[in-house]
Amino acid sequence: MTTGTSVIVARTPDELAAHVAAWESLAAAAIEPNVFQEPWMLLAAWRAFGLGCNLRAVLIYGPDPKHPTAAHVLYGLFLLERLPRLQGVPIAVMTVWQHALAPLCTPLIRKDVGGPCLAALITWLRTGPDRASLVQFPEYGAGDAFEQLLTEFVNRGRLFAHVADRHYRANLLRGSDSETVLARAMSGGNRKELRRQARRLAETGTVEVRTLATGEDPEPWLAQFLSLERAGWKGEEASALASDAARREFFEAIFRAAHGRGRLMLLGLFLDGRPIAMKCSFLALPGSFAFKIAFDEQLARFSPGVQLELQNVAALHDMPGWSWMDSCASPRHFMIERLWPDRRAMATTILASGRAPGGLVVSGLPLLRWIYRTFIRRRPGSDAAAKSEASHE
């Protein structure tokens, strides 16, 4: 174990909840903000989606670099899932857990202690009771502070690492004003058409843009959002939040928690008093994270979702201290990439812990991936297995 650090492993949400105070301090001092790894979000996710998974939370504690004689502080937190194989290879793998509603998995690591934190994690993986030859860090911001830390750590320790995936998704960066940003994203013809649609919508009734205010009762907004989302194609395909008990439980918990913390941004486009588009985002200033949007598909000719997104860009530019919003969307998302001109690179890295045969596997991953995709996936009956492992490649 790295000198001065200690590792605590929590194997249930209740055990992890005992560390919330230290966890909150970590989130406030992390090298990168990630609301999806904060206590109010991650504990709700574990309870809703993770009870059937092989999870454990690894907490790294160590001396406070600013107050060495004070009590130890939380250096980093990693909620890890143990997988039996990687790309068809039967080898013990730990991966930072990613559930279906977690678009960003960057772990929380305290500033100025990133090296000792990662060293303690790798030592625990190599020698601890949950030994694993590999650890995977999925879906983090490429080029951001965590990747810089990880790259320096790998190079300094001469470790084996492999970037298994890299892609891009829409990202919104603050401009001089919202109109300048939108003009950079869309042609004059597209903007003219959206203004025409807005006028036509206003001819059908009273149009208002509303925001859920701090201190306002969130329950009517929560019910309206769930109802609006379920009324469309997501409801028909049973993929809406309200269509699944676990998803609904998770969303209701984080919606209420974020609102109580002043971290929820909920915009609504209303027609004659009823919502026709709503957008839910979470704040971690100077950043923010778009989460879900819903709109009335019967009014598609007016593009209510796009109209609300234009209001979202304007509202963000009016927000003091705001610099960026991660779309949290899939790559090449049609609507958001039309409206947001910037992109955020995302990556997944697999790192050998130093326990055999991790280094050998990481070195051969490009070849193993080719063999797996070329031969194993083509075998009769292999489709289901391929789909089940696709998210861990």
According to the model, what pLDDT value does residue 378 have?
A: 58
CA distances (Å), 294 to each of 106, 208, 279, 341, 393, in order?
26, 16, 7, 22, 31
Q: In the predicted model, is pLDDT for residue 392 greater than 50?
A: no
pLDDT in tens, 93-139: 999 999 999 999 999 999 999 999 999 999 999 999 999 999 999 99
Q: In the predicted model, is pLDDT for residue 180 greater than 90?
A: yes
Q: In the predicted model, is pLDDT for residue 379 greater than 70?
A: no
Q: For residue 157, which of 2, 38, 332 has the smallest C-alpha distance?
A: 2
Per-residue 3-state assignment (H helix, E strand, C coil) for the chain: CCCCCEEEEECCHHHHHCCHHHHHHHHHCECCCCHHHCHHHHHHHHHHHCCCCCEEEEEEEECECCECCCCCEEEEEEEEEEECCECCECCCEEEECCCCCCCCCCCEEECCCHHHHHHHHHHHHHHCCCCCCEEEEEEEECCCHHHHHHHHHHHHHCCCEEEEEEEEEEEEECCCCHHHHHHHHCCHHHHHHHHHHHHHHHCCCCEEEEECCCCCCCHHHHHHHHHHHHCCHHHHCCCCHHHCHHHHHHHHHHHHHHHHCCCEEEEEEEECCEEEEEEEEEEECCEEEEEEEEECHHHHHHCHHHHHHHHHHHHHHCCCCCCEEECCCCCCCHHHHHHCCEEEEEEEEEEECCCCCHHHHHHCHHHHHHHHHHHHCCCCCCHHHHHHHHCCC
Q: In the predicted model, is pLDDT for residue 266 greater than 50?
A: yes
Residue 69 binned pLDDT confidence (cut-offs 50, 70, 90):
confident
According to the model, what pLDDT value does residue 370 have?
A: 72
Q: In the predicted model, is pLDDT for residue 14 greater than 50?
A: yes
Domains of the chain are 6-169+345-390 (3.40.630.30), 175-322 (3.40.630)
In the chain, the amino acid numbered 214 is: T
| Mean per-residue pLDDT, 252-275 | 98
What percentage of the chain carries pLDDT values higher than 70?
Answer: 93
| Mean per-residue pLDDT, 238-251 | 96
pLDDT in tens, 198-218: 999 999 999 999 999 999 999
According to the model, what pLDDT value does residue 384 have?
A: 40
Spatial separation of the C-alpha atoms in residues 87 and 117, rounded to whole Å:
28
